[in-house]
Structure 1
Amino acid sequence: MQISFQDKTVIVTGGAGGFGEATSRTFGSSGANVVIADVNLERAQAVAADLPSAIAVETDVLDESAMKNVVKTAVDTYGCLDVMVNNAGLPHLSGPMIEMDTETVDWQFAVNVRSVFLGCKYAALAMQNTGGGGVIVNTASIAGRRPRPGLTIYNATKGAVITLTRSLASELGPQIRVNAVNPLVSQTGFIKNALGVDQLGAEAVAAMTANVPIGRMTEPQDVANAIAYLASDQASMLTGVCLDVDGGRSIQ
């Protein structure tokens, strides 16, 4: 089974690093026109330069006008929007919830939930206006299903994304499908933001994956593959699906 996105237009928020970069490259190698939306324009331009058909758009997902603009840019450049991947998001520094300040909580809901709302809203409007339908895929987290202590507010935001995805799938069908992926932790910028280190050592990785049947952390390509499948015609019967890309942690 070969998945093709030939002549399809795809936006990936946070598309220049981690899961987003792998996703941008996967869609690009499958024939898509890729709009790489990232707050780091230089890095987004570097990824776009490697792809057959791609543009970089500087996008702060906290800015409603920026989110509206990236969707408009995609439609103006390529004529339509077929797939919206709301991937951008960050954890807070791990620690007890009772020690967190309100500003951090507000920021978490803004970057992890409000940004997904904005991406879904403007993508759905564009898909409806062009009449061709489309697919939205949101990056949630296995933390939204199986929370661990220390990241309580992050866990809550990802639970919100899961519920948003399922509800919106019911609201927008049958023209627009809405799905999500729930990754396990990966050696990406997540580690830096959550734990304050660039990479986990072998001992920490072993402890973190001790209850994962597959026995390893998630790789960005694992997530990119899942997103591409959920967005593809092969998954045309799937909507409201929140796919655990977690090596089986959720069943332990």
Structure 2
Amino acid sequence: MGRLEGKVAIVTGAASGFGEAIARAFAAEGANVLVADIAVDSGKRVVQEIEAESSPGGAVVFVEFDCVSRKCWEDALELARERFGKLDIVVNNAGTTYRKKPSVEVTEDEFDKIIAVNIKSIYQSVAVIVPYFADRKSGVFLNTSSVAGTRVRPGQVFYGGTKGFVNTITQGLAAEYGPEGIRVNSICPLRGATGLLEMFSGVPDTPEERARFALSVPLRRMSEPTDVAAAAIYLASDEASFVTGVNLPIDGGRLAV
């Protein structure tokens, strides 16, 4: 049996990057997964690849999904219950940023977008899913935050502020809804090899740039999506049944220096 055998999960932003890795890992561990993303073609590709590679793992279903829309959350919960009989895990992974630059150059549209995707999406998930989890006296929220939520770097200040929000509400929600049997944690990755890499670095993604950045990390590399997925499996599983309110760095020791 897999570590998530019989669990049912929604993973937002699952068409690429960390979300894709989490969806793949959850399915391989026996979870039934709703691959939720606004990117339809990429989301369907992920489902097809999981179905081809993960047998006899959990079932996967693509859901066209706007993480800021309450109706999308309501529809996803309904689909999970209709298709799999329940929902156990919500992974709030969808996120965005702007290209690294001075804070005074961040446009209002860019600011509004990171507030909606990085913050309002979690509000919507809580509004829709917490009553269901509370009624069941069981449920797991896992938020994808960032090391930037703890140590904000120049050029990504407002992005880091949204992740600081994620860290704070992760702890607050854990305290508020722990008595209802709901666990809430976050994963805080270091910059990783995803489609947003150049946005975070502000320079072209080259082997030389990756090597330069790796020298600033005690373990001498960037994070990989598989690193994040491994942590997500643990925090979503029953192995972490007494773990809540944690913002877990997946950073190779970067916050220690």
Taking structure 1 as the reference length, what is the TM-score of the superposition? 0.93
2:64 paired with 1:58: yes
Letter in 2 for 1:90: T
User: Which residue number corresponds to residue 176 of structure 1?
Assistant: 182
List gaps (5 residues or longer) in structure 2: 52-56
User: Which residue number corresponds to residue 224 of structure 1?
Assistant: 229
Distance in 2 separating the partners of 1:246 and 1:228: 17
Distance in 2 separating the partners of 1:66 and 1:195: 32
User: Which residue number corresponds to residue 159 of structure 2?
Assistant: 154
List gaps (5 residues or longer) in structure 1: none
Alignment check: 8 A CA contact 1:80 1:126 kept: no
Report the 3-state secondary structure (helix = DSSP H, G, I; strand = E; otherwise coil) of the residue aligned with 1:173: helix
User: Which residue number corresponds to residue 97 of structure 1?
Assistant: 103
CA shift digits 1:201-231 (9 cap, x unpaired): 1221123222211100000000011011011
2:87 paired with 1:81: yes
Distance in 2 separating the partners of 1:196 and 1:59: 28
CA shift digits 1:107-129 (9 cap, x unpaired): 11111111122123322222223
Letter in 2 for 1:24: A
Alignment check: 8 A CA contact 1:84 1:120 kept: no
CA RMSD of aligned residues (A): 1.6
Equivalent residue pairs, number:
249
Report the 3-state secondary structure (helix = DSSP H, G, I; strand = E; otherwise coil) of the residue aligned with 1:115: helix
Report the 3-state secondary structure (helix = DSSP H, G, I; strand = E; otherwise coil) of the residue aligned with 2:129: helix
Alignment check: 8 A CA contact 1:187 1:200 kept: no
Report the 3-state secondary structure (helix = DSSP H, G, I; strand = E; otherwise coil) of the residue aligned with 1:189: coil
User: Which residue number corresponds to residue 219 of structure 2?
Assistant: 214
Alignment check: 8 A CA contact 2:191 2:200 kept: no
Alignment check: 8 A CA contact 1:14 1:38 kept: yes
Higher mean C-alpha displacement, 3-12 vs 167-176: 3-12
User: Which residue number corresponds to residue 133 of structure 1?
Assistant: 138
Alignment check: 8 A CA contact 2:2 2:30 kept: no
User: Which residue number corresponds to residue 246 of structure 2?
Assistant: 241
Distance in 2 separating the partners of 1:239 and 1:156: 22
User: Which residue number corresponds to residue 36 of structure 1?
Assistant: 35
Distance in 2 separating the partners of 1:104 and 1:200: 22
CA shift digits 1:180-213 (9 cap, x unpaired): 000000111112444566x621221123222211
Distance in 1 separating the partners of 2:242 and 2:134: 19
User: Which residue number corresponds to residue 144 of structure 1?
Assistant: 149
Distance in 2 separating the partners of 1:212 and 1:139: 20
CA shift digits 1:112-159 (9 cap, x unpaired): 111122123322222223x15111100000011122110111000011
